[in-house]
Structure 1
Amino acid sequence: MSVLPLVFTSGWASGVNAYAVVLLLGVFGATGLSEDVPGTLQRPEVLIVAGVLFLCEAVADKIPYVDSVWDSVHTVVRPVAGAWVGALLAGHSGSVNDVVAGLVGGSTALASHTVKAGTRMAVNASPEPFSNIVLSLAEDLGVGAIVAFAMFHPLAAAIVAAVLLAAGLTVLVFLVSRIRRFRRRRAERRAQRRPAAQEAPPPG
């Protein structure tokens, strides 16, 4: 059976939280729940590093503007992680070329990362911090659920990941256009106020 559905799903999840993906896959393999996980991901040092970095992301991802800085740093990390995991999965199964799997995992991770980073920038425009926390928790739970689902039903999980990716890109396009209109209107209002302020006579 082709491993591409699992590669696609892990790529999507890596774009949202790469450390959670590495940690979950490693745990599934180390505990014997799945035989599809490469030994590299099950190594204790890999699990420890992934766990520590996952905790760091869990905190940074819930703080307004800190999450956007974290996303900027991970613009390269997440796609590379998606490609790396995809190549490992392909090499372990032997059903797909690891280069092809790396390209699928990396490109999918880049797309989902773009959705996450863009959505967070829009959410940060909100005056309250709770939306960041709710969105971050939803992402963490979503990644955990879909990766676990993919270990037993890879094709169905890949379909779910594809739908989520398409929906996320659609929402991102809507948010970007809405933010641009908002900024344009604000700039126009500021431009209208400046002449009025300049023409106003000095007090006294």
Structure 2
Amino acid sequence: MIFTAGWASGINAYAVVLLLGLAGVTGLSDDVPAGLQRTDVLIAAAVLFLVEAVADKVPYLDSFWDALHTVVRPASAAVVAALIAGSDGSLPELAAAAVGGATALVSHLVKAGLRAAINTSPEPASNIVASTAEDLSVAGVITLAVFHPVAASIVAAILLFFGVLLVWLLAGRIRRFRRRLRERRERRATAAVPG
């Protein structure tokens, strides 16, 4: 559950908190920590999930949003992992937080890298498709984790492996995207200087 929640948090931390909290509140799982089931936590997660659902589908805004969440997603995953592991401040709890946070960071970097590659495409449909696929995969894997945590962790590990492989294969496209952004900024700066 810790690894799976970490992987999913790297893609959409708010969905993870919301889905796990709802699984606990509705009685689908007795393993969800009480802190994730609180009404204020669920409302905040739902509102932030809706904001992310919109921001994540807009080209370039999604990359900006990902940049802002480079710290948020791993930190959220570490907190969720620590809550799942228990609240006694023990070494296993700290290790769980480290596993959740590190997994989320790798997953987040895969997502951000793939989105940078997708943003090189001139049409916005690919962003909408990618964002929807990410949301559905997070929902599916977290739901699977509630009922079959080992199977969910295997699925998450496979998705993480192929995500890292895909980013590695698309690295050239990502570099071209960054170069294009840099050139665009330089053109703006040159145009702004009176000549």
Q: CA RMSD in A?
A: 2.0
- TM-score w.r.t. the length of structure 1 is 0.84
Deviation at 1:40, TM superposition (A): 0.3
Partner AA of 1:33 in structure 2: L
Contact persistence 2:76–2:101 (CA under 8 A): yes
Deviation at 1:97, TM superposition (A): 1.5
Structure 1 CA distance, aligned partners of 2:90 and 2:84?
9
Question: 63, 66, 73: which is aligned to 2:58?
Answer: 63
Match of 1:8 in 2: 3
1:90 aligns with 2:85: yes
Q: How does 1:121-140 map to 2 (within 5 A)?
A: 121-140=116-135
Contact persistence 1:37–1:92 (CA under 8 A): no
1:160 aligns with 2:143: no
Distance 1:68-1:180 versus aligned 2 partners, 3 A rule: closer
Distance 1:36-1:116 versus aligned 2 partners, 3 A rule: same
Deviation at 1:177, TM superposition (A): 2.9
Once the two structures are superposed, residues 69-125 of structure 1 have per-residue CA deviations (whole angstroms, 9 ceiling, x without a partner) of: 000000000000110000000006999811010000000000000000011011001
Deviation at 1:179, TM superposition (A): 4.2
Distance 1:84-1:38 versus aligned 2 partners, 3 A rule: same
Deviation at 1:181, TM superposition (A): 7.0
Structure 1 CA distance, aligned partners of 2:154 and 2:87?
23
1:46 aligns with 2:41: yes
Once the two structures are superposed, residues 38-94 of structure 1 have per-residue CA deviations (whole angstroms, 9 ceiling, x without a partner) of: 000000000000000000000000000000000000000000011000000000699
Match of 1:142 in 2: 137
Match of 2:104 in 1: 109
Deviation at 1:150, TM superposition (A): 0.5
Equivalenced residue count is 179
Identity %: 63
171-180 vs 85-94, which moves further = 85-94
Deviation at 1:178, TM superposition (A): 4.1
- TM-score w.r.t. the length of structure 2 is 0.87
Contact persistence 1:86–1:101 (CA under 8 A): yes
| Pair member with larger Rg | 1
